[in-house]
Chains A and B, each alone.
Chain A
Amino acid sequence: MPNISAAWFDQIISLLAAILLLISFAMLSQRRILSLINLFAWQGAVLSVSTATVAYTAGLHHLYYSAAITFALKVVALPWLLHRLIRKLNVRWDVETMINIPSTMLIGLALVVFAFNLAQPISALATGASRHTIGIAMATVLLSFLMMITRRKAVPQVIGFLAMENGLFFAATSATHGMPMVVELGIALDVLVGTFIFGIFFFHIRETFDSLDIRHMEKLKER
C-alpha cells in the first residue's frame, strides 16, 4: 500500500514539475506585464503545492512550514507588492524584448535540452521523482535567466530574477527534501528584502531617467 501511494506522489510531483516548466515558457512568451505577474503568482502556487506534496510523502514537518512560507511570500505578498508598484508607477505597457518572441522560445527549447543533459549525472544518483525534477528545475532556472537577459524594462527583469529563485527553490525541495529550516528562512528573508529594494530602486530610476527602460543605463562602460 505505501508503495502504491509513493508512486502516485511521484507522479504528482512530476506533473507539477511539468506545469512549472510550462509556466516558465508562458512567462517567456508573455507580452503583457500584468499577466506576467499573474503567471509568477501561479508559479509560486505550484511551487507551494509541490513542496506540500513532498512534505506529505517524506513525512517532513518542516517542509509544511516552508510550503506555507512559499505561499505567503510568492503567491500573496510579492505579486501584491508588484501589482502595487505597477499601479504606483503607472506602467502597464507591454513588455519589450531584445529578441523577438519566437526566437526566444527556440533558444528556450535548446536551453531545456542543455539543462537535462547537465542534470544527467545527478539524476542518475537520485531516486523516485527527483530523477526528472532536477533537470526541470535547472531548465526553469535557465529559462528565467534567458528572460532576464532578453527584457528591456526593469520590472520584467526583476520578475525574471524572482522566477529564477523559484526554480532554485524547486530544485531544493524536490531533489533534497528541502534545505535546513534556518537556511530557508534566511533565503526567504533575503528575497523579500531584495524585492523591497528593487521596488525602491524603480522609483529612483524613474525619477532620475524618466523611464524604466534600462537602455538609458548603458553609460558606464570601457571607453
Chain B
Amino acid sequence: MLWLLGIPLAGGVIQAVFGQHRRASELGVALSFATLVAAGVLTARIIADGPMLVFGEQFFIDPFNVFLVALTAFVAFTTAVFSRPYMRIEEHHGKLSAQRLRLYHSMYQLFTFTMLVGLTTNNMGILWVAMEAATLTTVLLVSLYRSPASLEAAWKYFILCGVGIAQALFGTILLYFAAERTLGTGGNALLWTHLDQSKVLLEPTVLSLAFVFLLIGYGTKVGLAPMHNWLPDAHAEGPTPVSAVLSGLLLNVALYAVVRAKVLTDGALGTHFAGNLMMGFGLLSVVVGTFSLSRQIDIKRMFAYSSIEHMGIVTFAFGMGGPVASFAALLHMTMHSLTKSAIFFAVGHAAQKSGTQIMESIRGLIRTNPTIGWGLALGTFAILGMPPFGVFTSEFLILTSAMHEHSWATPILLISLGVAFAAIFGKVQPMVFGETALPRLPHPPAILPVFVHLAMVLALGVYIPPALAEWYRQAARFIG
C-alpha cells in the first residue's frame, strides 16, 4: 500500500531532477512497472482477504477500487512504454526540448500518484483534493507543446474543470454538513466507510442537493454532456500519451467518485434519485458524443468524442444499478480503458507519420507501417463493439439489462451505437487502407502496448476467467 503511493510520488521528484537525462524514459518505464507490481500485490491481498482499512482508516480498499487501481497501474505502465519511442520521435521532429521532457516525465508520475490517492482514499475530502491535483498536473501536460492551440485547450480545461471541481467541493461540504449531524464533528464524518454505515440516517434533502453538486462537479471531469466542452480540446492538443491516460484513466477515476457519492445518496434517500440523474446525464452524453462524431476532421478529437459516448454508456449503466448492470459497467470501464488507450497509441504514431492530425491527410497506414495500420483497424473494430472483442460483451449486457428495466432507453442506445459505427468506421477505413507516399517513422514505433491491450480485450471478449468474474461480481455488490 505504502509502495503503491510512494513509488509514483518519489518518481515525480526523481524525474523532476533527472528528467533531462537521456535515459529518463527508461526510468519512467521502470517506475511505472514498480507501481504496477505494487498494485498487483495489493490486488492479490484484497482478493484473498477482502476489503481492508489502512493508516488509521484514512485509506480504504475494497474490490471496487482495487480493480480500478490495478487497471490504472497497468495502463499507466503501458503508456509509459509507449511514450518512450513516441517522445523520442517528437524530440526528433524538434517539437519538444529536453526540459519539456523533464516536465513531462515528472508530471506523468505525479499524475499517476494523484489518481491512485483518489482511488484508494477513504476520505471524501481527500478524494476532492486528489481530483483537483490531478487536474493541475494534467493541465501542464496538455500545454506541453506550448502552441497557441494547446495553450487554449489547457486554459479551457483549467477553467472549466476548476469551476466544475469547485461545485464538487461545495457538494462535499454539504455532504459533511449532513454527516456532521449523525457522525459528529471531527475527522471521521467524511470517511466513506463511516458514511456508508450510517447512510440511512443522513438528511435526505441535504444529501440530494449535495449529490447534484457532486455529479455536476465530478461529471465535468468525466466529460458528461453538457459539461464536456473541455474534453475534445484537451485530448486533441495534448501529447498522445496524455490523451491515452486522460481518456483511459482520469475519466474512470472521476466516474468512480460519482459512483461513491451515488451509493451514499441512494442509501440515504431510499429512492432511485441519484441513479435516475446519472442515467439522464449518461444518455445525453451518449447522444451528444455520437452525433458529434461524424462532424470531426481531427482524428484525436473524433476519438475524444467516442470517449464521451462510452463514458455516457458506463454512467447510464451505473445509474441503472443492480448486479448485472453494475457488472457490465465495470467490464465496460475496463474494456474502454484498454481499447481507447490502444487506439490512442496507434493514432499517435499515425499522426506523427503524417505530420498532422487531420484525418484526410492520414492515408494508407497499412502500406508503410502495417503494424500501426492493423493496430488502428483492430482497435476501431474493438471500440465499435464488434463481436469477438470484450466491448461487445459489456455493451450487450448493458443493452439487455436496459431492455429489462428501462426499455424506453434501448432504442436511443442502439441508434447511437449504429451512428457511431457508421461515423467512425467510414473515417478510419481510408486512413488504414488508401494510397500514400509518406516515409516510415525515424524510430521504430511502440507497437507492443497496442497489441497487448487489444489481445486482452479480445481474450476477455471470448472468455472471462471465473476468478475475474467473481471479482467483478464482488465489486458490483459493493456498488449495489
Contacts and interface: CB of A to CB of B under 8 A. Distances in A.
Interface of A: 60, 118, 121-122, 125-126, 138, 141, 145, 148, 154, 157, 161, 164-165, 168, 171-172, 175-177, 179-183, 186-187, 189-190, 193-194, 197-198, 201, 204-205, 208-209, 214, 216-220, 222-223
B67 interface: no
Interface string B99-131: 000000000000000000000000101101100
Q: Which of A125, A176, A204, A218 has the most CB of B within 10 A?
A: A176
B180 interface: yes
Contact of A183 (B139, B190, B209): B190
Contacts of A181: 187
Given A118-B209, A183-B128, 12 more contacts: A122-B209, A125-B181, A141-B166, A154-B155, A157-B159, A172-B173, A177-B180, A179-B190, A180-B189, A197-B136, A201-B143, A220-B233
Given A183-B123, A197-B140, A165 B185 contact: no
Nearest to B208: A121
A126 B132 CA distance: 29
Contacts of A189: 129
Contacts of B163: 145, 148, 161, 164
Contact of B136 (A138, A193, A223): A193
A204 B143 contact: yes
A108 B132 CA distance: 27
A164 B156 contact: no
B49 to A, nearest CB: 26
Interface centre among A183, A214, A217 (most CB of B within 10 A): A183
Nearest to A157: B159
Chain A interface, >50% SS class: helix
A201 B209 contact: no
Contact of A186 (B126, B149, B203, B297): B126
A179 B173 contact: yes
Instruction: Count chain B CB atoms within 10 A of each CB in A122, A208, A220 and give the residue with the most.
Output: A220
Query: Which bucket holds chain B's interface residue count?
Result: 35 or more
B187 A180 contact: yes
A197 B154 CA distance: 11
Contact of B129 (A190, A217, A219): A190
A165 B185 CA distance: 22
| A-B complex: 4 closest residue pairs judged by Cβ atoms | A183-B125, A186-B129, A217-B152, A180-B187
Contacts of B295: 222-223
Nearest to B147: A208
A161 B162 contact: yes
Interface of B: 58, 123, 125-126, 128-129, 132-133, 136, 139-140, 143, 146-149, 151-156, 158-159, 162-163, 166, 169-170, 172-174, 176-177, 180-181, 185-187, 189-190, 203, 205-206, 209, 233, 236-237, 292, 295, 297
A54 to B, nearest CB: 12
Contacts of B140: 197
Nearest to A171: B173
A134 to B, nearest CB: 8
A175 B177 contact: yes
Nearest to B188: A180
Contacts of B126: 182-183, 186
A194 B151 contact: no
A41 B361 CA distance: 52
B176 A179 contact: yes
Contact of A187 (B129, B136, B189, B209): B129
A217 B187 contact: no
Contacts of B185: 60, 176-177
Given A171-B170, A209-B148, A222-B292, A190 B136 contact: yes
B321 to A, nearest CB: 25
B148 A219 contact: yes
B461 to A, nearest CB: 33
A182 B123 contact: yes
Given A161-B159, A179-B190, A190-B129, A220 B237 contact: yes
B152 A219 contact: yes
